[in-house]
Amino acid sequence: MSLPTGPVALPDAVAGLVRGADVTPVWQNLLGGVTVRLRGGPDDVDRFLRWSPTGSAPDVDGEVARLRWAAAWLPVPRVVDAGRTPEGTWLLTEALPGRSAVDPAWLARPAEAALALGRGLRRLHDALPVEGCPFGWDTDVRSDDRPAAQALLGGRPPDDRRVVCQGDACAPNTLLADDGSVTGYVDLGRLGVADRWADLAPACWSADHNYGPGHADLVCEGYGVTPDRERLAWYSALWHADG
């Protein structure tokens, strides 16, 4: 995934959702997915529009259900519209305050950002109730039809603490205020109950990837846990096998 360096093309299926707003590319990936920010328009409300080619993102209906469930406890985007065509799916949400943890302002403060990422993940895990959560993210759900992940299951570490995981706890999916407090969480399409290291592993990997080597342990420090190398390695391998 990367920040776009120029204009991005939106398919005809979502062109009508732009409705005269100013379009700013925000994110794109190698599978053809793209996210843009829509400023202004008829109702003058800032929004984000994500387009995902078929098969490149979690089921949009499931993501909408997760966003609406999590909204009772955490700041998450309000869903405005969502839909699908044979070519892909879209999700239109209202913008939240704050900046992505990979905004240039945070890339210039990497240690603070990594600590904030850990604190934010701990807040999410503490806030969302495991009991009554209708969504799961255990290895049996994640590894379906993925031979690389299936091969890992025999050595799965025992659970440390069961929580409701974000499902993609990488730095771009956490929004921060200037003081490092979390203003929102995005990309909750895989949210579900699992061991907390299933989230900590991609968060730590992302810190080293986005901020430079040596920042993963700061995520654990911000979270308030001693790095568990075995669980970090195992869940990181599973996360990469998931694609």
Q: Identify whether 68 is part of a domain.
A: yes
Tokens in use for 143? 């590894």
Hey, which residues are catalytic here?
168
Residue of 103, 122, 127, 115 lying closest to 180 (CA atoms)? 115
Question: Residue 41's domain spans which residues?
Answer: 12-94
Q: Do 196 and 237 lie in a common domain?
A: yes
Q: Identify whether 152 is part of a domain.
A: yes
| Residue at which a domain ends, from 64, 94, 124 | 94
Domain tally for the chain?
2
Q: Identify whether 52 is part of a domain.
A: yes
Q: Identify whether 76 is part of a domain.
A: yes
- Considering only residues 84 and 119, tell me which one the structure prediction assigns the higher pLDDT: 119
Q: Do 124 and 60 lie in a common domain?
A: no
**In which element (H, E) is residue 15 found?**
helix 12-18
- Considering only residues 84 and 121, tell me which one the structure prediction assigns the higher pLDDT: 121
Q: Do 80 and 165 lie in a common domain?
A: no
Radius of gyration of the chain (CA): 18
- Residue 223, pLDDT score: 98
Q: Region 7-18: what's the mean pLDDT?
A: 77
Highest mean pLDDT, choosing among 8-17, 28-37, 85-94, 136-145? 85-94
Asked if 111 and 218 count as a contact pair (C-beta separation under 8 A), the reply is yes
CA count, 13 A, side-chain hemisphere, 40: 5
Q: Region 80-86: what's the mean pLDDT?
A: 90
- Residue 2, pLDDT score: 55
DSSP 2: B
pLDDT above 70 (res 190): yes
Tokens in use for 221? 């420090």
Residue of 163, 160, 159, 93 lying closest to 135 (CA atoms)? 163
Give dist(CA 41, CA 182) in Å, integer: 27
Q: Identify whether 7 is part of a domain.
A: no
Q: Identify whether 195 is part of a domain.
A: yes
CATH code of the domain in which 77 resides: 3.30.200.20
pLDDT band at 211 (very low <50, low <70, confident <90, very high): very high
pLDDT band at 9 (very low <50, low <70, confident <90, very high): confident
CATH code of the domain in which 149 resides: 3.90.1200.10
Q: Do 221 and 208 lie in a common domain?
A: yes
- Residue 145, pLDDT score: 46
